[in-house]
Structure 1
Amino acid sequence: MLPGPALLLGALLWRLAAAGDEELPTAVNITWSSINFKTILQWQPKPSGYFYTVEIHGRTSDVKRKCILTSETECDVTDALRNVKETYTAHILSVKPAEMDNFEEPPFAVSEKFTPYSQTVIGKPEIKNYSQDGSKLNVVFNDPLTPYVFPNGSFQSIQDIFQHDLEYKLYYWKDQSSGKKDITTKSHNFEVSVDSGKNYCFYVQGIIPSRRENRNGQESMVLCTSVGRNILDEYGTEVFIILAVIAVVVITLAIVLPVVLCKRKKAKRARAVREKELLNGV
């Protein structure tokens, strides 16, 4: 009588063990997204019945674990990439909570290599102030800040990290014109010669000339000076033409209308005189 139930129990345990050994899905479409050294790791798919844990592996640094047992498909790994010149890969582990103490390595996917120093995108510079004095255009701007801080708690700028590898370019052009000029500096201000009395628009962009990719950073907002600005600069030629036509019409009416009214008045007076003469003759 015993072999039957024992055999059934053994088969059940074998099926449970086999089901437990099924390998979990691993992450796909792993991407790095980094601006001013703030770095987010993203992947797919959304987990169901399991979780993800991210491991950051550097060539010369210790493995760092981030977003342990997360059900999300993104992870902020900025503070695990403090050595910005190091090259990293991310291992995204697919795990069940009960397996965290298991000595067997869970299934995982490996990202592309990522080096923050050469791949993070340079963000938008902030225009601090600007002025146009005669034939000189002056523009002062601030560096974008990074998430990393100095020992005193102040945030490091991208200039603090890139040093002499970073330069800035000012693009400027006459308002209502499409012809751009540019000038480069390693400081935080520009002074360029422009046509006196003409308004200019401009923006600033950070550049890392030594890079093979992501050389050009994000563009700052476009600003324009307002020296000697008139209605033609403000609203364009079309509005000026419309105003001119209206002015001509008003002037024409002012001249023609009195003449027409005067002629009508004279004609009415002459008709009255003729009618009176006819009555007197009768």
Structure 2
Amino acid sequence: MKTAVRTAARRRTLGVALTVLALGASAVACSKGDSEAGESPSMTPAAAVAEAAKNTEDITSLRYRMTGKVPEQGRVEAEASMSMKPMAMSMKMSALDAGADSGKVELRFVDGALYMGGGAAAAKEMDGKHWIKFGDLGKNAGSSGAGASGMEDQVKKNPAQESTFLTGSKDVKKVGTEKVDGVETTHYKGTVTLDEFRDSLKDEDKATREAREKSLQQYETMGIDKVTMDMWIDPDEHTKQFRMRGAADKGPLDMTVTFLDFNKPVTVRAPAAGDTVDLAETLRDAQEG
């Protein structure tokens, strides 16, 4: 019974982790310039946000820290590294409301496969092995998307799309200048409905429109129709920190992402095969048996 409870808790933690990944790896903006703390003197707040949104394709890798609350799941903390080419992700996450035994998890996405590690607590349930390899189970993962295909969909997303939401805001404003992790930044804030954001895409090219449309889907699934956004832009016009808040069907979303670096090498290695349970093989063996 205890094993079943712990396993169910870890599945819940994996769901939280994938939600965190979807939200966190979608909150970067980047543009170029040498002006003061993320704003040209001649730019209005809306123009500064639009300029950042226009230059979101330059990011090839990033590292970030995330804290906040996920609807239904509760409080989370995470730190992650992500590479877009090749696609790879490493994330260590704590679901603070899941309990000490099951709330900590490490995810790795590498070579098209998703791995989840739960440390010593997981090893007690898996004959001493610390990792589960999910493989290509997305088609069997149901609505949770908790398989490699679901993870790959998140990794393939350009990690800048949510920051472009502010381009649809009708009330974006400059709040002031603030230091974030010792870096001087310009703080912007605005509210935007998903319909307003979608309407703002009508003049974009097809590829941009499709990419940004995808970023809407996770919010629609959660039942969020309006978000409040804060963005802190550093002197190089990178987003140093980002906060998104909204009312979902199953509770509040309130996530803050702090970006630690951009475009630096990211290496993600698969866990040792001898320390890994291959879930696809286990299911296949069970079916054959």
TM-score normalized with structure 1 length: 0.22
Higher CA-based Rg:
1
Work out which structure has the larger RCO, using CA pairs closer than 8 Å and 6 or more positions apart in sequence: 2
TM-score normalized with structure 2 length: 0.21
- Which structure shows the bigger proportion of residues in helix conformation? 2
